[in-house]
Structure 1
Amino acid sequence: MDTETSSREPALPRPVSRREQAEATRGSLLRTAERLFAEHGLARVSNRRIVEAAGQANNSALSYHVGTRTDLLRAITRAHAEPIAHRTRELVELARGSTRPRDHVASLVLPYTEHLAELGNPSWYARFTAQVHTDPGATAGLHDDPLLATFLEEGNAAVWAHVPDLPAAEAALRRQTARLAVIHTCAEQERTAADTNTPADWPLVGAALTDAVTGLLLAPRSPH
């Protein structure tokens, strides 16, 4: 046995830099805020509550590491937007030229449900998204992420090329209903999964939502 090697002391861990500490603190604040917003709603969660739940002693930690309330919501959304945008681009490109409306609907629905599956159980993003979209004050300052905008625009155009010609007000209602169906169905599935400790069947949810949204958008307009 090499006595020099055996007597050598274990290497000390590399010191954590101040920048790494700041990034870790910011990440903890974002994850904590996402969970609290998802479970309790935006209005019932104060900045101080987020800071305390994240184990930070300084009450100004949130404003220092993240910024304003709108900055906080946008940062949480942005943390999830990149993988969703990447998958949306793949499916939108794959569906180009398809004559099946369902292919184009799937390119917009499945990236979201697939991302939720990747988060594991419990997760909070679907419920966070639902809380944001039911709070007028939040949605007023939180627009669609630019990472997704280009692909969503192309996918939506492909979907609506197959939709019956509708008056603008009715088209807007169908669009809103389809969006809310996806958001709130996924939020309920996520909540049930967290409560029962049984992961949601996200492939089934994605397929069912794709079928439902396709049927909703393509439904013939009845005479009024």
Structure 2
Amino acid sequence: METSSRREQAEATRELLLRTAERLFAERGLAQVSNRQIVEAAGQANNSALAYHVGTREDLIRAITRSHVEPIAARARERVAAVRRSKRPRDHVASLVLPYTEHLASLGNPSWCARFLAQVVTDPALLDVEGVEPVLAVEFVEGTAAVWAHVTPLPAAESALRSQTARVAVIHTCAEQERLAAVTGVPADWALVGEALTDALTGLLTAPRVPTTRKDR
């Protein structure tokens, strides 16, 4: 019984450290927050608490990321499966976008997930860290393939550019909506954000290509 109680206390401390680090990273930036600041903000007296309960800084970022990516991926699996036979590109785009906005809605206000993940996926130092999966890049292979199956074939470079633009739009739009909600105290309308992004990205990905010549450019 005592062992179980200690384990629960250790898990609670670890969760506190993760959520505290996530908040500080979201509000100040990854590079601006030290391990010591995280420990102090979490109310831990032992400066080695973070290393003991979580591990290295990479372990910390990986753990926070996974705590969000896993539920997002679970939602994505359900949505991708539900629209597998759909011939509407928008349905497949929604299966990629809505799992993220629905997860953000589940976190309440304030939340720090979107701002944290926006930093993780754009930090060059983290791109090669094993296990730090960019959001919208896990469990989304089938959904992405389904979107492109309903789009007029494009040159590889252009399809890659459109995909990159779509990803950036989702990540940074959600981060900005989360920031505004934290500042104003008014929760973001994540249902509206999800539908608006779905409409916009469907248009972006399915837009016909207008051939141009070098002279036109």
Is TM > 0.5 for Structure 1 vs Structure 2? yes
1:175-218 CA distance string (max 9 Å, x none): 11100100000011011111110011111000000011111111
- 1:1-224 equivalences under 5 Å are 17-141=5-129, 142-144=131-133, 149=138, 151-224=139-212
Aligned equivalents of 1:163, 1:70: Cα separation in 2: 38
* 1:179 alignment partner AA: R
* Alpha-carbon shift at residue 85 of structure 1 (Å): 1.8
Name the CA shift for 1:208/1:145 in 2 (closer, same or farther; >3 Å): closer
Contact 1:78 1:145 in 2 (8 A): no
* Alpha-carbon shift at residue 140 of structure 1 (Å): 2.5
* 1:208 alignment partner AA: A
Moved over 3 A (4+): none
Percent identity (aligned)? 73
* 2:52 alignment partner AA: Y
* Alpha-carbon shift at residue 115 of structure 1 (Å): 0.7
* 1:144 alignment partner AA: E
- Report the counterpart of residue 215 of structure 2 in structure 1: none
For normalisation by structure 2, the TM-score amounts to 0.91
* Structure 1 vs Structure 2 CA RMSD: 1.9
* Alpha-carbon shift at residue 143 of structure 1 (Å): 4.1
* 1:32 alignment partner AA: T
1:74-104 CA distance string (max 9 Å, x none): 1111112232122111110110110000000
> Where do 5+ consecutive residues of structure 1 fail to align?
1-13
Aligned equivalents of 1:75, 1:143: Cα separation in 2: 8
Q: Indicate the larger mover: 57-66 or 14-23.
A: 14-23
Aligned equivalents of 1:47, 1:218: Cα separation in 2: 45
Aligned equivalents of 1:145, 1:131: Cα separation in 2: 10
> Where do 5+ consecutive residues of structure 2 fail to align?
213-217
- Number of corresponding residues: 209
Contact 2:108 2:187 in 1 (8 A): yes
1:116-153 CA distance string (max 9 Å, x none): 1110000000110111122111233154379x73x311
